[in-house]
């Protein structure tokens, strides 16, 4: 058995670090886990008290400051060693070094993290790329594994795409996945995309803040937002239809993702709610905002990169403990790359192709349903009750 909220979560972290951070961290298992622990300490130290009174010397602030300082010196040590040894890597950190950026401008951990501001690229990208992506990828596998119906349908879709672009089953699995073009990942995994959408819908929790930084007041609906004031909107407060207003229109707190007047059984994971003919997410504008909406959508759905992309790195992380792959196996791509989305689709696709598995608890008892999320959580969170994936290697040559 494996705990996906540990094993898959670590894979997402490793992929994110490889994309936006340092090769020294991603290629060193001990250093990678140490870095993940520091990021988790900082993330978990965000409390309502630290938001309302960020200057108050609480225990959470002390932990956050210590973890931030350790991150700072970790990255500083890597940069100093590269300069001392005249060593170069092809990663995001090297780009900043080549541009002459100062360590404080690149990371700015000691000050920024204690002030609750993630303003720099590396630290901000890791936080935004890890928390939601790691939790959603893990939950997506548990949801699929809890339903034989969706498990078989999703696997059939993955096998169909794999056989379309790489029908030779004698090839190593990593080579077969490498043969799938980027366009296919974006357009031919319709069911997998629906699975991801409903996983995101259920795990998108917390509160949005938007400050009016203009000099004039802004009117939104019947509300006037003064200059300098904050607009606060809760992602989800679940109300039953009987608790809505008389004409059954949703209240402001029901606008996002859990409105029972839009989503049938809103706390149930059901990919079919996005199928043509049903399309619950299209009943009205902005009733599904998993990748955000408006002028500033999530960068994980459309960030332009030029980088060395190795699809089978994901396979190797799932299949072995090795991650140092030869550069000759890489393919340089220049594209509008939906990294967060593709990262999750790759992990789930390779896992479903490589393993036969069931979702169960920590005692091995099969789960045919996953408990609803904690709607009071501040953000996407790991489940309270233990969830495991009971797996075995799949006979790849015996596919139907």
Q: Do 211 and 186 belong together in one domain?
A: no
Residue 26 lies in a domain: yes
Q: Do 83 and 48 belong together in one domain?
A: yes
Q: Which two tokens stand for residue 34?
A: 């140490």
**Is 379 in contact with 131 (CB distance < 8 Å)?**
yes
Q: Do 74 and 174 belong together in one domain?
A: yes
Q: What is the pTM of this model?
A: 0.78
Number of domains in the chain: 2
Model confidence pLDDT, tens digit, residues 286-335: 788 777 666 666 655 554 443 333 443 443 344 333 333 333 333 333 33
Q: Burial, 394: exposed, middle or buried (Cβ in 10 Å; 0-12, 13-18, 19+)?
A: middle
The C-alpha atoms of residue 154 and residue 138 are separated, in whole angstroms, by 16
- The band of 192, judged by pLDDT with boundaries at 50, 70 and 90, is very high
Residue 109 lies in a domain: yes
pLDDT for 16 beyond 90 = no
Measured from the Cβ of residue 370, the count of other Cβ atoms closer than 10 Å reads 20
> Helix crossing, 121-145 with 190-203: angle to 10°?
110
Residue 295 lies in a domain: no
Residue 354 lies in a domain: yes
- Choosing from 247, 282, 317, the residue where a domain stops is 282
pLDDT for 386 beyond 60 = yes
The C-alpha atoms of residue 112 and residue 314 are separated, in whole angstroms, by 32
Centroid of chain to Cα 36: 14
Q: Do 227 and 189 belong together in one domain?
A: no
Question: What mean pLDDT comes out for the span 6-10?
Answer: 91
Residue 293 lies in a domain: no
> Strand, helix or coil at 356?
strand
Tell me the residue range of the domain where 329 lies.
4-194+303-398
The C-alpha atoms of residue 344 and residue 129 are separated, in whole angstroms, by 11
For every residue of 38-69, DSSP letters joined together read HHHHHHHT--HHHHH-TTS--HHHHHHHHHHH
Q: Which residues participate in the annotated binding site?
A: 298
Question: What mean pLDDT comes out for the span 352-368?
Answer: 92
Q: Which two tokens stand for residue 343?
A: 């990262």
Q: Do 323 and 366 belong together in one domain?
A: yes
Which long-range contacts does 394-399 make (Cβ < 8 Å, 24+ apart)? 394/353, 394/354, 394/355, 394/356, 396/169, 396/173, 396/353, 396/354, 397/169, 397/170, 399/159, 399/169
Q: Do 328 and 360 belong together in one domain?
A: yes
Model confidence pLDDT, tens digit, residues 59-82: 888 888 888 888 888 888 888 888
The C-alpha atoms of residue 366 and residue 156 are separated, in whole angstroms, by 22
- Choosing from 224, 248, 282, the residue where a domain stops is 282
Which tops the pLDDT comparison, 381 or 303? 381
pLDDT at position 109: 44
Residue 200 lies in a domain: no
Q: Do 330 and 213 belong together in one domain?
A: no
Residue 291 lies in a domain: no
Q: Which of 232-241, 324-333, 335-344 shows the lowest mean pLDDT across its residues?
A: 324-333
Model confidence pLDDT, tens digit, residues 111-166: 444 444 433 555 555 666 667 888 999 999 999 999 999 999 999 999 999 999 99
Q: Do 257 and 352 belong together in one domain?
A: no
Q: Do 183 and 222 belong together in one domain?
A: no
Across-strand partners of 218?
225
Q: Which residues participate in the annotated binding site for heme?
A: 298
Which tops the pLDDT comparison, 366 or 233? 366
> Strand, helix or coil at 232?
strand
Q: Do 42 and 170 belong together in one domain?
A: yes
- Choosing from 222, 252, 282, the residue where a domain stops is 282
Q: Do 393 and 328 belong together in one domain?
A: yes
Q: Do 29 and 161 belong together in one domain?
A: yes
């Amino acid at each position: 058995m494996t705990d996906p909220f540990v094993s898959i979560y670590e894979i997402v972290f490793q992929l994110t670090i490889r994309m936006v951070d340092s090769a020294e961290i991603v290629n060193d298992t001990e250093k990678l886990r140490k870095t993940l622990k520091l990021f988790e300490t900082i993330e978990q130290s965000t409390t309502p008290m630290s938001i309302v009174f960020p200057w108050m010397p609480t225990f959470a602030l002390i932990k956050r400051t210590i973890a931030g300082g350790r991150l700072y010196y970790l990255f500083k040590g890597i940069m100093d060693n590269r300069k001392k040894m005249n060593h170069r890597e092809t990663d995001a950190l090297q780009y900043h070094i080549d541009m002459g950026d100062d360590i404080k401008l690149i990371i700015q951990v000691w000050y920024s993290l204690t002030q609750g501001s993630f303003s720099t690229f590396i630290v901000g990208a890791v936080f935004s790329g890890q928390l939601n992506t790691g939790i959603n990828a893990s939950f997506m596998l548990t949801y699929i594994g809890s339903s034989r119906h969706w498990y078989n349908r999703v696997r059939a879709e993955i096998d169909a795409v794999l056989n379309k672009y790489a029908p030779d089953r004698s090839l190593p699995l990593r080579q077969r996945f490498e043969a799938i073009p980027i366009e296919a990942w974006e357009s031919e995994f319709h069911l997998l995309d629906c699975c991801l959408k409903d996983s995101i819908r259920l795990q998108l929790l917390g509160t949005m803040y938007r400050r009016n930084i203009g000099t004039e007041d802004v009117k939104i609906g019947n509300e006037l937002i003064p200059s300098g004031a904050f607009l606060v909107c809760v992602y989800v407060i679940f109300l039953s239809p009987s608790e809505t207003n008389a004409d059954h229109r949703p209240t402001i707190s029901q606008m996002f993702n859990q409105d029972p007047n839009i989503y049938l059984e809103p706390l149930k994971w059901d990919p079919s709610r996005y199928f043509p003919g049903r399309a619950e997410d299209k009943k009205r504008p902005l009733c599904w905002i998993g990748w955000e909406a408006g002028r500033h959508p999530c960068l994980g759905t459309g960030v332009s990169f030029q980088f060395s992309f190795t699809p089978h790195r994901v396979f190797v992380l799932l299949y072995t403990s090795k991650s140092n792959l030869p550069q000759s196996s890489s393919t340089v791509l220049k594209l509008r790359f939906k990294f967060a989305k593709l990262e999750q689709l790759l992990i789930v696709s390779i896992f479903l192709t490589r393993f036969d598995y069931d979702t169960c608890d920590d005692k091995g008892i099969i789960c045919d349903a996953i408990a609803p999320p904690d709607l009071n959580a501040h953000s996407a969170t790991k489940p309270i009750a233990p969830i495991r994936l009971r797996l075995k290697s799949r006979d790849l040559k015996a596919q139907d």
